[in-house]
Amino acid sequence: MRPDILNSLFAEISALKGVGAALAKPLERLGLARAVDVAFHLPVAWVDRLIVDELDMSQSGRIVGTVLTPVEYKAGGGTRAPFRVHATDARGNYVSLIYFGKNSGWPRKMLPLGEPKFVSGKLDLYGQELQMVHPDVLPVEEAASVPAQEPVYRLSEGLSNKRMRDLVGQALDRAPDLPEWVEPSLLDRRGWPKWREAFGEVHGKAEALKARERLAYDEIFAGQLALMLVRGASRRRRGVPIQGDHQLRNQLKLPFAPTGAQQRSMNEIEGDMAQATPMLRLLQGDVGSGKTLVALMALLNAVEAGMQGAMLAPTEILARQHFATLQKMLTGLPVNVAILTGREKGRARESTLMGLADGSIHILVGTHAIFQEAVQYKALALAVIDEQHRFGVAQRMMLSAKAERTPHLLVMTATPIPRTLTLTYYGEMDVSRLDEMPPGRQPIETRVVSAERVDEVVEALGRHIAAGGQAYWVCPLVEESEVSDQTAAEVRAETLRMRFGDAIAMVHGRMKGPEKDAVMDAFSRNLTKVLVATTVIEVGVDVPNATLMIIEGADRFGLAQLHQLRGRVGRGDKASVCLLLRGNALSETSRARLALMRETNDGFRIAEEDLRLRGAGELLGTRQSGEAQLRLATPEHLADLIDSARDDARLLIERDGGLDSPRGQAARTCLYLFERDAAIGLLRSG
């Protein structure tokens, strides 16, 4: 239960003065549902305001604040012409206050002639005339409350920066003095302020670097402590030692010998599974590195020992792809594989549930449905979770609870993650990394092409089809949109059908499951030649004959997503090409992304660059049901502070008495503050 001392900070947003239904909507769009969310909503920029008694040309380009007296109104000659208010400062210097698109009644009301007002805005020089466009206006008696430095916040329609500042002030008033959880010598060495002081400083001045660093550290420390507690709780649980006899694994007919990285990972997993302490291991590999084979070997190890295994995927498409792949690889072996998703109903579902309960189903593949309450296993010994970042610690433990004794857990990700982020998001796990590609895989040639040459690309696509090849054409949107100039998948599919007829198929996330399956099946059997798709094919699609990937609007995608999409080709022994169609107005960031994609196929190098360009939250690609994203710590903070945070968390647990010590009690509060309290619950249950 959350400590009482935090209750005022975790109050609903409606508890803040002035927040009604209308204001709650823009706050909700920003993800601000409670006072603590507002306190954590840090400034993105600062206004450096020059408070002056009189204006002069040397101040041009600065944000200034001064007392002005309106002396004349001047309406424009047309509907689009600005409305001007001529005003003078204390020395009689003239300035024009300019308002576009406003009814003249509004500036007349705010700036009555002859009545001094405090005016703040950017001062510009137009010819020899000083101007301010849409300045802020306050009564003179409120001028003293206007700060020289003012925070600027990320906003949503219907929410002003002034209103956000007021809400932040209210949220900070609710922030209590909390007991100190940071190790005292570290606090002194870094010169950090106390927690509550740090929040006041980061919202109060632009140069609050130490305060900003302190808050980032607190968030990273909470994450590292939670991961250590989860690991400790898992290690205390009793598992089932598993040692298969290799009878099934030796019967697999593999097209090539496992790579050194695959064999090393298999040995690490087999060693973990032989222990009574449940395995908790992350298998990290780039697209095409052979994670599925490693996972299958682990599953067969469990089946050889008379136990069951389950594989969990985040989407139905990926679950069915895994199911088909495992069935193909297990052809001729006495292993019963079943699938369970939300689509399985009636007798088929009942049959699967009975097979799991009586042990006749050896391996189950599915989505979240596989850990629903009705699903009971006879002897679940291994759970494999694919695309780990889509699932949280609590969901992993829900799956673990499906067995009398905690099953071994192998989690996989195809998103290459820098080592710093691996420690942040998966620090409670041992890590196996597949850093080699299977033999026969050729590097994918990547080219960047202007969207103006799309007709040439279509001609090249025609030659590719005529030579017996298949291709993907990825579009960012499903339908045409008034707010985007991107060609939608439906429009692109229609234009390609006009040229290539029934050779063109389309798949996107809005299609129903059976419809998607039918399209994917036809493409995988080479009945259709070009699959026009949205990013729904980013993971889990494996068609070796597809050797051409065309990504439209490539400059609008992030590096990690481009790399995942490119990984849909190059999955056989044929040479593959990826064409990145770009727009003309490229930002420097987009230009850097595309240049790197052209330069390398190394997903781990791409991930490091993606971290630098986009930040940690976006890199993992989702905020679905699981891991809390970092709100206060930047990638730079992560690199600088994670070692200290991990060491401090270890000191707390191993030297300072854990959560029951005085510092440990403070650390409990820190866990609740950053909503990592699930780790405390797991500690109790362990």
Q: Over the stretch 146-192, which tens digit does the pLDDT of each residue have?
A: 888 889 998 888 888 889 999 999 999 999 999 999 999 999 999 99
| Together in a domain, 322 and 262 | yes
**Is the residue at 230 inside a domain?**
no
User: If you average pLDDT over residues 275-279, what whole number do you get?
Assistant: 88
pLDDT score, position 418:
62
Q: Decide which of 141, 175, 209 is a domain's last residue.
A: 175
Q: How confident is the model at residue 539 (pLDDT cuts 50, 70, 90)?
A: low
264 with 409, same domain?
yes
Measured distance CA(462)–CA(471) in Å, rounded: 10
What's residue 485's pLDDT? 39
Whether residue 486 is predicted with pLDDT greater than 70 in this model: the reply is no
Assigned domain for 686 exists = no
Which stretch of DSSP H or E encloses residue 563? helix 559-566
DSSP secondary structure letter of residue 508:
-
Contacts of 328 (CB under 8 A, 6+ apart): none
Tell which wins on pLDDT, 285 or 243. 243
pLDDT value at 371 more than 90: no
Of 140-144, 347-351, 612-616, the poorest mean pLDDT is in 612-616
Tell which residue, 567, 657, 574, 656, has the closest CA to residue 606: 567
Q: What pLDDT, on a 0 to 100 scale, did the predictor assign at position 627?
A: 38
Cα–Cα distance for residue pair 128/267, rounded to 1 Å: 78
Is the distance from CB of 361 to CB of 379 less than 8 angstroms? no
The greatest distance separating any two alpha carbons of the chain, rounded to the nearest whole angstrom, comes to: 96
Domain co-membership, 9 together with 116:
no
Residue span of the structural domain in which 142 resides: 47-152
DSSP state of 34: B
Say yes or no: 419 and 327 in one domain: yes
Three-state SS annotation for 262-312: HHHHHHHHHHHHCCCCCCEEEEEECCCCCHHHHHHHHHHHHHHCCCEEEEE
Q: Domain with 3 in it: what CATH number?
A: 1.10.150
487-514 per-position pLDDT tens digit: 578 889 999 999 999 999 998 877 777 8
- Partnered with residue 85 across adjacent β-strands are 73, 97
User: DSSP alpha helices (H): ranges in 129-208?
Assistant: 161-174, 184-190, 195-202
Q: Where does a domain end: 555, 578, 600?
A: 600
CB atoms within 10 A of CB 278: 24
Question: Is the distance from CB of 555 to CB of 582 less than 8 angstroms?
Answer: yes
Alpha-carbon gap, residue 204 to 194, rounded angstroms: 15
Q: What average pLDDT does the segment 207-234 reach?
A: 88
Query: What is the pLDDT, as a whole number, of residue 157?
Result: 83
From 370, 317, 313, select the one nearest 509 (Cα to Cα). Answer: 317
Structural contact between residues 50 and 60, judged by C-beta atoms closer than 8 angstroms: no
Looking at the structure, tell me whether residues 386 and 495 fall in a common domain: no
Mean local confidence (pLDDT), 83-99: 93
* Same domain (yes/no): 106, 65: yes
Instruction: Tell me which amino acid residue 624 is.
Output: Q
User: What is the tally of structural domains in the chain?
Assistant: 4
Residue 509 maps to which CATH number? 3.40.50.300
Instruction: Specify if 148 maps to a domain.
Output: yes
State whether 466 and 595 are in the same domain.
yes
Residue 429 placed within a domain: yes
pLDDT, tens only, 373-412: 788 899 999 999 886 544 555 555 566 566 667 889 898 8
Domain membership of residue 61 (yes or no) is yes
Q: Are residues 262 and 322 located together in one domain of the fold? A: yes
Q: What is the pTM of this model?
A: 0.62
User: What pLDDT was estimated at residue 85?
Assistant: 94
Q: List beta partners, residue 432.
A: 283
> Domain of 114: which CATH number?
2.40.50.140
Do 478 and 423 sit in the same domain of this protein? no
pLDDT greater than 70 at residue 572: yes
pLDDT of residue 91: 92
Single residue among 600, 622, 650 that ends a domain in this structure: 600
Token pair 């490229």 is found at: 586
Tokens of 630: 């970092």
Question: Residue 193: what pLDDT?
Answer: 96
Is residue 5 in a domain?
yes
pLDDT digits (tens, 9 = 90+) for 667-679: 999 999 998 876 6
- Sign of the C-alpha dihedral computed for residues 251, 253, 259 and 261 taken in this order: negative
- Give the per-residue pLDDT at 479: 45
Q: Are 417 and 477 found together in one domain?
A: no
Same domain, 55 and 6: no
- pLDDT digit string, tens, across residues 102-127: 566 788 999 999 999 999 999 998 88
> Same domain for 429 and 565?
no
Number of Cβ within 10 Å of residue 663's Cβ equals 20
**Is residue 217 a part of any domain in this protein?**
no
Q: What is the pLDDT of residues 614-665, one digit of tens each?
A: 544 433 333 333 334 578 988 778 778 888 998 999 999 988 888 889 999 9
Residues of the chain above pLDDT 90, percent: 48
Q: What is residue 382's DSSP assignment? A: E
For residue 238, count CB atoms less than 10 angstroms from its CB and return exposed for 0-12, middle for 13-18, buried for 19 or more: exposed
359-368 pLDDT, tens digit per residue, is 999 999 998 7
Nearest to 574 by CA among 447, 440, 422, 394: 440
In a domain, 685, yes or no: no
**Contact 375/340 with Cβ under 8 angstroms?**
yes
Predicted confidence at residue 112, as pLDDT, reads: 95
